[in-house]
Structure 1
Amino acid sequence: MALVSISNLGKYFPENKIFEDLSFSISENEKIGLIGKNGSGKTTLFKIIAGKIEPSKGKVHKAKNISIGYLSQKFNLKESGTVHDELIKMFTHLNEVYEKIQKVSLELKRDNTKKAELQNLMDKYERLGGYRYETKIKQVMGGLNILQFKDRKIRTLSGGEKVRVALAKVLVQEPDLILLDEPTNHLDLKSINWLGEFIKKTKSAVFLISHNRYLLKNSITKIAEIVNKDIKIYRGNYDFYKKKKQNDLEYRKKRYKKQKKKVEKLKAYIRKYKAGNRATMAKSREKMLEKISLIDKPGKFEYNVELNFNNFEDSGNDILKINSLDVENLFSIKELNVFKNDKIGIIGKNGCGKTTLLNTIIDGNKNISYGKNLKISYFRQNLDFFDEDIHMVDYLNEKYFLDEDEAREYLGYFDFSQDEAFKIIRNLSGGERARFKLLDMILESPNLIIMDEPTNHLDINFLEVLEEGLKKFKGTLIVVSHDLFFLKNVINKLWFMNNKKIKEIKYDVEKFLDNFSYTSTSKKTMTNNSSKKDYKKQKKQRNRRKQMKRRLKVYENKIENIEKSIKELENKMQNNHSPNKLEELYLEKEKKHKKLLDMMEKWEYIKEKLD
């Protein structure tokens, strides 16, 4: 059944036509990835589906009583509340049902006719997930790595932490349709993996805007691409989309070349015979030419840019030497070296100190030795510029002494049109700021590039352009990223930050990333260089894991037995007519339910430790 049907949808702003005549549908349990260039209207489409804005034309038909959860790039959280408060608010309807159950239970002592009403309320409470919502909240908080600060006030959280709370609010509801707009931007690898599994397993339909190719490959079954103000559907995951798109491109190239040859032949005939004795036939061919519907040149709507970072003065062979570095109780480094042409990726949990490490390198430290003739350029997460209140042309003039024509030529190369070249930097979108920052870096001519989450605001097409530019870069690169596809395409060495230490992976980096389980203590991640580890320590860890697995099994059996007991109590309540006995059974069921939650919490704790 279609949850949402869209027909001939269009959205226009005074200065821009975003898209027109979009037609497609979203069915129950479908998992769809929405892609397209920055500015193509992906977020606008989500806002229309969510009912936040109205379309300029066309219709959006939604199934009756449909529930929609929407994670936008702007979210609304109550600053004075706690993280747990925000999530509990999603279940106020259950509290209302529970209060009615309590009220009717008391009335049942005086009025035996209330039994049916009580049973209906209890059935409704169970059907709505009343006995599971606390467990669901803990599972989602654990998956998104926010369980440890569930009692903190929203106002004390960082921007990234607030994004994760907003995402959790959407996921705990499991509505009929979930709209997620770039949900991975502030997630670490473990949380991205968890989100991917959630998307695959949830009964909700999911419509996802993302540049994360891991999710689009492993969790999505259909790709929708907005291109040239229209939408095209590919009935497969990202790999299928790439293959189909390449085949389509080859087919369109052949058609374009064939038509171009035909047009040129007609024009040549017309030029040759227009004034001669074959003028009538030339006129006929002019009419034929007018009737031909010209095919757009393939690739017209892709980025026509190649990032060249290689206009730099060479550095020495030794880039950085880090010795005995302890930083803010986050991590310690005994010894790490960076050499010329190293392309190092840094991964680790949120909060482990990845950005702090980059900032320490940039700011300087007595425990870091810097090589000769280094020219460093830093791509920060916040994409800062020395002046936010001037337009891009003036920025390039002030920093690099480019005249207007030169600046506009560079900006055009980075997909900024003539009018867009005069946009104030403060008013640029995330994707525009990222593209402008990359232009800024290229003009700086660094031989050491340091990047902190460079993929966050780029669409997939430009992300692939960046990958190609960094692969061809002949200098040195240090990059923090949660995007495995990006890392595998770019780096040749890996720093894995875990348990306040940094493990260097020099060989089989791609294999390590392929096998990486996204968890902090995965058995797979411990195999690299395992021969150097102490045998007794390994044996102790294995024994501890065995003990934890046995405990996990015990908790699973207890949970299963408690759930059976609750079911038996519910059956007894259905067949009992005594108010006193009903109240007794109800109270016993509540005790069992609390015990179930306690067991679930213990099970989750052990499971997280094992992971």
Structure 2
Amino acid sequence: MLILEAVNLKKYYGDRLIISTNDLKIRRGDKIGIVGENGAGKTTLLNILSGETDADTGVIRRYCSTAYIKQFSDENVNTQGKLFKEFGVNDKIDCQKASGGERAKLSIAAELSKNSSLLLADEPTSNLDYKSIKVLKEKFSKVETIVLISHDRDFMDTLCNKIIEIRNGKLFFYEGNYSFYKKQKDLKIKKQKMEYEEYIEEKVRLEKTTRDVQSKSKSMKKTPKRMGNSEARLHKRAVNERKKKLDSAVKGIKSRIEKLQVKEKPDKILKVKIDFSLTNPPQNKIIMVSSNFCFKYNKNEIFRNAKFKVYNGMKTAVVGDNGSGKTTLLNLINMQDEQIYTVPKAVIGYFHQNFEDLDFDKTVLQNVMVSSIQSESCVRTILARLLIFGDAVSKKVGVLSGGEKIKVSFAKLFASKANVLLLDEPTNYLDMQSIVALEDFLKVYEGTVLFVSHDRAFINSVADRLFILENEKITEFEGNLEQFEKSKNVPKNQENIYIEKSILQMKLTEIVSRMSLKDCDKEALDKEYQCIAKQLNKM
């Protein structure tokens, strides 16, 4: 059943066409994820569909009630209701004093409470902890029709059955969830690469053939001087006929070259060659350590006798509920709190989203180069890997979108003298393509990284260690989030099984020794032996 349609829709910002679609239909049961680069027009499309923004041309027809969870909302919310408690929001909270995560929960709960037939949601998982995202997944799965923007690939995979990609103002439609869309895109890129290589190979072959034929034509012998007139005429005629055929062949080959279907060259992924030795990195195995670590905020105890170690070159994700102290921990490390020992050669670079490290009046390249210890060529490659190409490096930072500014901040960090990076929610407000680019960069980065993120896919891709913040303590785990969750579901780990087997085998040895004694109860010992043997077999 059709519940919304947009016909001949167009939206401009100045001379730039942001959205253009002839026919967009949303039917009951559709769970649509919208993807596209930063600034592609994702939020603009939701604003138009909700009625918050008018299109320049076209018609929107809505056949149902609509709720809209906005990315940034300062509206006061009525906090009465069951949903607020399910999201862990105090119903007496002052909206103006609420944290980013609390405001997000208030907005989500308020819109879900409307029980509308169509739900529009712009980055609903931003600033939410894992428990809240789990509740959100459950609630969204019960909503019949959703149009959703999210940088959380796991969230999109769980919920979406269709994907709309916005590219150069146009809408492209894909069936399936985000992973299926990504596979289709990857196959398309592979096909494009193969077709381009075949096109170049055929073009080179034909061009070589053209040169060979032209060379033959030019090397045709002229009529010898000693040849008689009649013989010379015959020779000249034969030569001219052969030259004519060769010239005709050249024209034919050139025509084939012109008729070759030109294939677009796929973007080449540049390899970044950062000279990490310029950061004078520490050689210690452990570069940061703390024990009996305590911290209070007002009267709230955040850490109590906590301890942790940071290993050189490792990528550690800091995870935990909202309010567990994730950002606080990064701040204390950055401020070099006296309870935390950091080796002298560790140089900390801290990323957060207030852009205080950027000069909005200078260009992208100038901003990065001012603190860079790498060459300009390396800096340009870093920016290109973060999807800031060509003339874009000459733009003033002040005109960039939020996502683009974030990428400039990353480039400044990667090119700086820092060899220990602290990243607080690095994927917030980045598009999917930029998140993947950041993942690829961090995986080959030679330094040490501690990061806070609620993006499961990002953590699983980048992290090789976890700090789990819970009950004022820090638990360390070797592995990513997926491996941690699997370990929790396994009743006994391999080490415990090995210990238990050793204990049982020792008991068997003891029973055998006792059975050799004259005054032993052999029947009872035999039963005990069989019982333990069965336990061992089960293990």
TM bucket, shorter chain: 0.7 to 0.9
CA distance in 2, matches of 1:489, 1:467: 7
- Quick one: which of 279, 288, 291 aligns to 1:323? 291
How much does 1:350 deviate?
0.8
Give the counterpart letter for 2:124 in structure 1: P
Instruction: Give CA-to-partner distance per residue, 1:138-196, whole Å, 9 cap, x none.
Output: 22x23433x22x22322212344323322222222132221111111111111111111
How much does 1:409 deviate?
6.8
Give the counterpart letter for 1:297 in structure 2: K
CA distance in 2, matches of 1:472, 1:239: 23
Runs (5+) with no aligned partner, structure 1: 89-136, 517-523, 532-611
CA distance in 1, matches of 2:376, 2:281: 30
CA distance in 1, matches of 2:33, 2:314: 34
Identity %: 29
CA distance in 2, matches of 1:199, 1:342: 36
Q: For the structure 1 residues 433 and 309, does the alpha-carbon distance in structure 2 shift closer, same or farther, using more than 3 Å as the test?
A: farther
Q: What are the equivalent positions in structure 2 for 1:434-453 lying under 5 Å apart?
A: 434-453=406-425
Q: What are the equivalent positions in structure 2 for 1:590-609 lying under 5 Å apart?
A: none
CA distance in 2, matches of 1:525, 1:440: 42
How much does 1:402 deviate?
9.1
How much does 1:460 deviate?
1.5
DSSP-derived class of the 1:351 partner = coil
Runs (5+) with no aligned partner, structure 2: 218-242, 497-539
Instruction: Give CA-to-partner distance per residue, 1:70-98, whole Å, 9 cap, x none.
Output: 223332414xxxx4x2x56xxxxxxxxxx
CA distance in 1, matches of 2:259, 2:68: 47
Instruction: Give CA-to-partner distance per residue, 1:572-593, whole Å, 9 cap, x none.
Output: xxxxxxxxxxxxxxxxxxxxxx
Give the counterpart letter for 1:240 in structure 2: F
How much does 1:487 deviate?
1.3
Asked whether the equivalents of residues 31 and 159 of structure 2 are also in contact (C-alpha less than 8 Å), the reply is yes
1:167 aligns with 2:108: yes
DSSP-derived class of the 1:330 partner = strand
Give the counterpart letter for 2:87 in structure 1: L
1:235 aligns with 2:202: no
Asked whether the equivalents of residues 309 and 473 of structure 1 are also in contact (C-alpha less than 8 Å), the reply is no
CA distance in 1, matches of 2:209, 2:17: 39
Asked whether the equivalents of residues 343 and 493 of structure 1 are also in contact (C-alpha less than 8 Å), the reply is yes
Aligned residues, how many?
Answer: 462
Report the counterpart of residue 157 of structure 2 in structure 1.
217
1:183 aligns with 2:124: yes
Report the counterpart of residue 485 of structure 2 in structure 1.
513
DSSP-derived class of the 2:17 partner = strand
Larger Rg: 2
Give the counterpart letter for 1:251 in structure 2: K
- Quick one: which of 487, 491, 503 aligns to 2:463? 491
1:396 aligns with 2:363: no
CA distance in 2, matches of 1:38, 1:304: 21
DSSP-derived class of the 2:189 partner = helix
1:501 aligns with 2:473: yes
Question: RMSD across aligned C-alpha pairs, in angstroms?
Answer: 3.4
CA distance in 2, matches of 1:355, 1:224: 34
Report the counterpart of residue 103 of structure 1 in structure 2.
none
CA distance in 1, matches of 2:267, 2:54: 32
Q: For the structure 1 residues 188 and 334, does the alpha-carbon distance in structure 2 shift closer, same or farther, using more than 3 Å as the test?
A: closer
DSSP-derived class of the 1:183 partner = coil
Report the counterpart of residue 28 of structure 2 in structure 1.
28
1:296 aligns with 2:243: no
DSSP-derived class of the 1:25 partner = strand
Instruction: Give CA-to-partner distance per residue, 1:478-512, whole Å, 9 cap, x none.
Output: 11111121111222221111122222223685322
How much does 1:381 deviate?
3.7
Q: For the structure 1 residues 216 and 243, does the alpha-carbon distance in structure 2 shift closer, same or farther, using more than 3 Å as the test?
A: same
1:73 aligns with 2:71: yes
- Quick one: which of 187, 200, 208 aligns to 1:247? 187
CA distance in 2, matches of 1:305, 1:43: 33
1:256 aligns with 2:196: yes
DSSP-derived class of the 1:352 partner = coil
Q: What are the equivalent positions in structure 2 for 1:76-115 lying under 5 Å apart?
A: 76-78=74-76, 83=77, 85=78
Give the counterpart letter for 1:260 in structure 2: I
Report the counterpart of residue 331 of structure 2 in structure 1.
359
How much does 1:256 deviate?
2.7
1:464 aligns with 2:436: yes
1:142 aligns with 2:67: no
- Quick one: which of 467, 473, 478 aligns to 2:445? 473
CA distance in 2, matches of 1:43, 1:404: 35
How much does 1:49 deviate?
1.7
- TM-score, reference length from structure 1: 0.67
Report the counterpart of residue 131 of structure 1 in structure 2.
none
Instruction: Give CA-to-partner distance per residue, 1:183-211, whole Å, 9 cap, x none.
Output: 111111111111112221222x1111111
Q: For the structure 1 residues 350 and 434, does the alpha-carbon distance in structure 2 shift closer, same or farther, using more than 3 Å as the test?
A: same
CA distance in 1, matches of 2:20, 2:258: 26
Report the counterpart of residue 454 of structure 2 in structure 1.
482
Asked whether the equivalents of residues 307 and 466 of structure 1 are also in contact (C-alpha less than 8 Å), the reply is no
Asked whether the equivalents of residues 309 and 445 of structure 1 are also in contact (C-alpha less than 8 Å), the reply is no
Q: For the structure 1 residues 530 and 177, does the alpha-carbon distance in structure 2 shift closer, same or farther, using more than 3 Å as the test?
A: farther
Give the counterpart letter for 1:30 in structure 2: D
Instruction: Give CA-to-partner distance per residue, 1:107-148, whole Å, 9 cap, x none.
Output: xxxxxxxxxxxxxxxxxxxxxxxxxxxxxx322x23433x22
- Quick one: which of 286, 292, 309 aligns to 1:337? 309
CA distance in 2, matches of 1:7, 1:48: 12
